Structure 1
Amino acid sequence: MTDTTVPTRPGVPTSLRRVDDARRRFGAFAETYLDAMWDGDPPADAFVADVPRLGHGRAMRLLRTACREGIDAVPDAPDSLRALFAQLDDVPGWLDAERIDHDSRHVARYTRQSGIVLGAASLVSGYANSAASRPLEMTGRYVENAGARTIEVASWLAAVSGPGGLDRFGEGFELTVRVRVIHALVRADLLRRPAWDLPAWGLPISQAYLAYTLVEFALIPMRGMRAIGAPFRPHERAASYARWRYLGHLLGIRADLLPVDEADQERLEEIYLLTRPPVDEFCRELVASINREFLVAEIEGLLPPALRGSVGRGAPAVVHGLERLFLGDEISDELAIPRTRVTGALRVVGPVLGAVHAALDRVPATLAPRAALGRRYQRVQEERLRRTWGVEHDLVDASPAGGRPHPARGDA
């Protein structure tokens, strides 16, 4: 099966809950969202359908050349690749990359906090959905490789969020396009597997769940940063939503699902949370894996020695406290995240730190030096993480062979 837009919808995926409530609350948008459960990414899916004929290695080389030099530099490009880049190179009139960069120029001052929020809020929030997280289970990409995948995501985010991160021939553009094709490769692979329950889960990496990833990387992080005392200023928040609107366009998200601003992201989050399939044991194992294999070790290294305690008390309690702060008790209970008094302490400390940082932010002369320190910390931290976890590649399509095969490498 290579056509990953289902022509005859089987109905609402059976794993979804409270669908009638969603229709009452969201009206026409509910139908758009539910319909998107059956849509993939036609341009990227068409290119992936050509990969067996081209050969995986050659197809990915053609893709990289088109990213780095333009589609005209690929004289033997298949029609599917030309169609994909016709869409990618059609820059929306609403994009103002220069303003986004200008308004984001000091956000790196909160680099330390953003790393915590990425792991304990952005990534974990997606695991409270047994259908959306199923591709990770079936490709073995997280339980077996929590550290590597977290570094891959962080590296992509750093590339797209820094100065020039949206430039057509920049690293961020190429990585985003490759993420899009990785999604299509995984989608095609899972649709060939009898274990993929299409009526229950909808299309793998559907438009509906793909759109929600923008919430994971914009709305949820900004809310999490505010909770731990690192609030962004209004123009910085607006720039983040504008950045992720364009990245969503590059990722192939449908225009009628693509959130424009904070209100759109909030609406998308509300319908997602209302209808999400229930947590299952794999969701809980995903969270346990990222905690055990990555977050606890990282927090252990950040805590002052006096606060570390034993491995069983200090860092795990902080990680669980952060997750409960970010996710709330309902989802945390479903994910079996232990309760800890740290959550209450964070709720007290966060506003105090927020007031201190907001006062600093009102002194313009502090912004550039703090941002420079944040960028330096980011570089040092990435180098350390890569050494610690033995990661030399950028994305999974470039990861070394060995272990469980993965469709993005062409060895599945």
Structure 2
Amino acid sequence: MTAAQTGGRTFRGDLDIPEGLPRGIDLGRIVNKDKAIAMYGRGFVEKMTDHAMLADDYAYQAMLDFKDKSNRTSWRTFDRALESGIDSIDDPTPGMVSLFEQLDHVPDWVDFDQLYRGAVAFWRAGPIVPPVLAWATIAGGFSMYSATRPVLFSGRLKSADHVGTRLVESFRYVVAAYTPGGMDRFEEGFRLTAKVRMIHAAVRHSLSRSDSWDWADWGIPINNLDSMETQAGQFGVKFVDAVQSSGIRYSDRELEDIFALSRYVGYVIGVPEEILHTGYEDARLKSDFHTMIEQPPDDFCRDVVHSVIKFSVEHPPGDVEVLPGPVAKFMTTERRLKLVYGLLDTWIDDDVMKALGAERTGWRHILPTVRPLVTAADRLGRLLPHDDEKTAFGMLRQFNDAIKLPDHADKATAVANPDEVHADIAANKGAMPVVSHS
């Protein structure tokens, strides 16, 4: 295990977990160990899987401080420190000081001009980006066995009256983080990324006290290994692969810029640099590794993926279509749903689609059919005068209209309310079975 030292505090990553648990490589969730060792080497496999039993203790300790009534630290204190800096807080706790020392430290590999270019490149692909985000990355991400475990307990992706809220919250965070300039210290992307980080810590705390959390199978809730995959894979490799499989091509420089941005988002959200991806090729290697050792989708994954897709098609966020307007305008809800599964047939691996029991619709031929035209138009567009920044901000305006907070809403509510999530987990609204230790 590793330790990180800052602000006088040493964090191993294993605060508040039970004794006697297996090492990461021996967790029930890990498959294909021998194959992974043969391909990647034992040292790499053990280092990465150890992080299934390690998590972000900077945020976790700060969150424990919130629960300690002997001090005045709270979620409101955290929000104020995000807005104005830790120096604006009178008598902050050691946990808060350590967290903000880590948050405010800018690693020497960060180039904010490159991050800006990465965000422009992310969105310059145009109308294909919202569907890829909604279905290939967010909905498709829940096809991962490990990523689905923490979201099952609250029931927020099972109950129709909560799915839309949860989906819009995810969009707000991702869109803000991937807005050009959004990850500057006092911008919305940084604020929401740090806020999501703390919500993850709160979810970890709640799940750690649930009789239904299977430590020996799943590891620590919201662990480093899965958080790494979210940035390197879900919003990195899987995003760019889906865009490029649709006919748009990113240049080598654009890819490096996009992955520099996702790397810094990963850093701010608490992925330790020890396993955080360093660039495009490293992200692909680590994402492929995570896929290799991952359990196949189960019934829980199927329920969540289909629930998210169905809701997003029937109730587009903010009543703004995820699909391009000219496409959506003439389609019934049933036809749109079939189109989404047709798109996913191109964006998601065949074995995953089969495991999800996804319908194979005639629309699966749509992207292969139009891809040559999209590719030709993209190549021509790159040769002619073009303004990627204008295109990116045009897409962002459209998407932000769909996910903006209601008028007069407190911006602290832009992402999940941790108290509500805790209450739902404590009540086990997802109806997860109690773990048997016999």
Contact 1:177 1:251 in 2 (8 A): yes
1:141 is displaced (CA, Å) by 2.5
Q: How does 1:318-397 map to 2 (within 5 A)?
A: 318-383=339-404, 393-397=413-417
**CA distance in structure 2 between the partners assigned to 1:249 and 1:217 by the alignment:** 14
Q: Does 1:40 align with 2:55?
A: yes
3-state SS of paired residue (1:138): coil
Give the match for residue 285 of structure 1.
303
Q: Does 1:198 align with 2:220?
A: no
Q: Does 1:232 align with 2:250?
A: yes
Q: State the AA in 2 paired with 1:259.
A: H
Q: RMSD of aligned C-alpha atoms?
A: 2.8
1:370 is displaced (CA, Å) by 3.1
Contact 1:300 1:308 in 2 (8 A): no
Contact 1:230 1:354 in 2 (8 A): yes
Deviates further, 184-193 or 138-147: 138-147
Identity of aligned residues (%): 25
3-state SS of paired residue (1:16): coil
Q: 1:146 to 1:187 in 2, by over 3 A?
A: same
Q: 1:79 to 1:118 in 2, by over 3 A?
A: same
TM-score (norm 1): 0.88
Write the deviation string for residues 212-269 of structure 1: whole angstroms up to 9, x where unpaired: 0011111111111112233333322211100111111111112221001111111112
Contact 1:6 1:38 in 2 (8 A): no
Give the match for residue 62 of structure 1.
77
1:160 is displaced (CA, Å) by 1.5
**CA distance in structure 1 between the partners assigned to 2:84 and 2:329 by the alignment:** 51
Deviates further, 207-216 or 372-381: 372-381
Q: State the AA in 2 paired with 1:121.
A: A
Q: 1:308 to 1:57 in 2, by over 3 A?
A: farther
1:198 is displaced (CA, Å) by 0.3
Q: Does 1:10 align with 2:8?
A: no
**CA distance in structure 1 between the partners assigned to 2:71 and 2:237 by the alignment:** 36
Deviates further, 315-324 or 294-303: 294-303
Contact 2:21 2:215 in 1 (8 A): no
**CA distance in structure 2 between the partners assigned to 1:123 and 1:221 by the alignment:** 10
TM-score (norm 2): 0.83
Q: Does 1:311 align with 2:329?
A: no
**CA distance in structure 2 between the partners assigned to 1:327 and 1:402 by the alignment:** 30
1:368 is displaced (CA, Å) by 4.6
Give the match for residue 146 of structure 2.
131
**CA distance in structure 1 between the partners assigned to 2:139 and 2:71 by the alignment:** 31
Write the deviation string for residues 56-87 of structure 1: whole angstroms up to 9, x where unpaired: 99511111111111111111211100011111
**CA distance in structure 2 between the partners assigned to 1:162 and 1:56 by the alignment:** 36
Deviates further, 198-207 or 41-50: 41-50
**CA distance in structure 1 between the partners assigned to 2:79 and 2:276 by the alignment:** 26
Q: Which of 2, 14, 36 matches 1:22?
A: 36
**CA distance in structure 2 between the partners assigned to 1:306 and 1:48 by the alignment:** 43
Q: 1:100 to 1:301 in 2, by over 3 A?
A: closer
Q: How does 1:265-304 map to 2 (within 5 A)?
A: 265-298=283-316, 302=324, 304=326
Q: 1:279 to 1:57 in 2, by over 3 A?
A: farther
Q: State the AA in 2 paired with 1:338.
A: E
Q: State the AA in 1 paired with 2:255.
A: R
Give the match for residue 431 of structure 2.
none
Q: Does 1:151 align with 2:168?
A: yes
**CA distance in structure 2 between the partners assigned to 1:305 and 1:249 by the alignment:** 38
Q: State the AA in 2 paired with 1:171.
A: E
**CA distance in structure 2 between the partners assigned to 1:306 and 1:69 by the alignment:** 43
Q: 1:251 to 1:91 in 2, by over 3 A?
A: same
Give the match for residue 405 of structure 1.
424
In structure 2, the gaps of 5 or more residues are 1-13, 427-438
Contact 2:115 2:181 in 1 (8 A): no
1:279 is displaced (CA, Å) by 1.8
- Report how many residues are paired: 400
Q: 1:192 to 1:106 in 2, by over 3 A?
A: closer
Give the match for residue 188 of structure 2.
171
**CA distance in structure 2 between the partners assigned to 1:367 and 1:300 by the alignment:** 21
